[in-house]
């Protein structure tokens, strides 16, 4: 009976047994009997015809709230049911949530009704999730009402796992593959310190290295970086082969004690004096293969025997990070 009052209030702004009896064209005493004993099957069918709400929902509370199209007689809401109507069983429709092909002309509210059919969602709960009124939420659960906005669809996706793109456009699958609920777990133990600048590195293929020749731990000023490598050093970069990853005049902080993996950015110094900052691809047959982020610079391969050192580039610092020594 509580659901009947809810449907009457949401769909027709009807409050109390007197208004309900008048709308259904029955006696108020019959409504009072329903309150004490429960609404009869015939009464449920009468309410379905009058309000458009599902008789199954009235009996069990199982969504959707609204009956399928054709289940309501809006032209004559107060008429009595015929005897044949009263003998008809209440048929519980099973949701067809697994269909990939959508019915022609289906809109977002129809898809929402199908998606939430087995979740027992109340209008009040849906209204809170989507940020709409309870009346609108009740209409949505019945597959009718105003179209769903993007913001509302995202709220529904985050709460019920209904794919917002499918809900709005009918594209893809109803369920989302990933629910983004990862806890925020920032790294809080980074140790910033001044890393000495010890030279320059050319970002072209024929780069060069200018050693300032300061002792370990000293150099031509410092850049601040969160590194724990005790032998870390910094180089000022010149050129554009790593742009936009590393820009001209920026600093790279090099960590010589860090293990190098394919895909890492590395500082390579060859025995003939060339120094380059590149991306390490792989090592094969005694040759080290490197590429630039900037595709205008071709990949290169250097014999391993010709490499004096290859160190891991851990951090990139802006020119403004430099401080005098």
Q: Higher model confidence: residue 188 or residue 29?
A: 29
Is 70 exceeded by the pLDDT of residue 188?
no
The pLDDT assigned to 78 comes to: 40
**Among 51-60, 240-249, 313-322, where is mean pLDDT lowest?**
240-249
Q: Higher model confidence: residue 70 or residue 62?
A: 62
Give the pLDDT mean for 104-131.
86
- Among 1.10.260.40, 3.20.20.70, 3.20.20.10, 3.30.70.100, name the CATH number for the domain at 102-185: 1.10.260.40
The pLDDT assigned to 39 comes to: 84
Share of the chain above pLDDT 70, in %: 75
Cβ contact 229:257 at 8 Å = yes
Is 80 exceeded by the pLDDT of residue 212?
no
**Check: CATH 1.10.10.10 for 193-323?**
no
**Model pTM greater than 0.95?**
no
**Among 42-46, 91-95, 235-239, 310-314, where is mean pLDDT lowest?**
91-95
State the virtual CA torsion across 81, 83, 85, 89 in degrees, nearest 10: 130
Q: Higher model confidence: residue 36 or residue 205?
A: 36
* 127 CB-side CA count, 13 A: 12
Q: Where are the domains of the chain?
A: 1-93, 102-185, 193-323
Task: Tell me how many degrees the CA angle 221-224-229 measures, rounded to the nearest 5.
Answer: 100
**Among 71-75, 160-164, 203-207, where is mean pLDDT lowest?**
71-75
* Topology alike, domains 1-93 and 102-185: yes
Q: Higher model confidence: residue 89 or residue 11?
A: 11
Asked whether the CA dihedral 27, 30, 34, 40 is positive or negative, the reply is: negative
Q: Classify strands 233-238 and 193-202 as parallel, antiparallel or unpaired.
A: parallel
**Check: CATH 1.10.260 for 1-93?**
yes
């Amino acid at each position: 009976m509580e659901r009947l009052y809810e449907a009457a209030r949401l769909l027709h702004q009807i409050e109390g047994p007197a208004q309900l009896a008048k709308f259904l064209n029955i006696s108020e005493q019959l409504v009072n009997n329903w309150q004490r004993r429960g609404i009869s099957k015939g009464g449920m069918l009468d309410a379905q015809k009058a309000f458009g709400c599902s008789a199954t929902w009235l009996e069990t509370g199982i969504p959707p709230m609204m009956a399928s199209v054709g289940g309501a007689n809006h032209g004559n809401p107060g008429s009595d049911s015929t005897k044949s109507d009263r003998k008809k069983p209440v048929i519980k429709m099973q949701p067809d949530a697994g269909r990939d092909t959508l019915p022609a002309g289906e809109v977002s509210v129809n898809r929402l009704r199908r998606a939430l059919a087995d979740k027992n969602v109340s209008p009040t709960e849906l209204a809170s999730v989507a940020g709409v009124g309870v009346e609108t939420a009740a209409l949505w659960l019945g597959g009718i009402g105003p179209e769903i906005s993007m913001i509302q669809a995202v709220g529904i996706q985050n709460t019920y796992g209904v794919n917002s793109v499918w809900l709005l456009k009918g594209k893809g699958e109803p369920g989302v593959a990933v629910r983004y609920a990862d806890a925020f777990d920032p790294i809080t133990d980074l140790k910033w310190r001044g890393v000495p600048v010890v030279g320059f590195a050319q970002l072209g293929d024929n780069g060069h290295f200018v050693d300032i020749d300061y002792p370990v731990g000293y150099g031509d000023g410092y850049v601040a970086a969160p590194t724990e490598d005790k032998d870390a050093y910094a180089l000022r970069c010149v050129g554009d082969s790593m742009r936009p990853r590393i820009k001209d005049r920026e600093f790279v902080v090099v960590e010589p004690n860090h293990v190098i993996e394919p895909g890492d950015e590395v500082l390579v110094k060859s025995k003939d004096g060339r120094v380059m900052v590149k991306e390490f691809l792989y090592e094969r047959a005694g040759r080290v293969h490197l590429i630039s982020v900037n595709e205008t610079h071709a990949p290169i391969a250097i014999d391993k025997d010709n490499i004096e050192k290859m160190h891991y580039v851990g951090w990139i610092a802006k020119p403004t990070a430099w401080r005098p020594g």
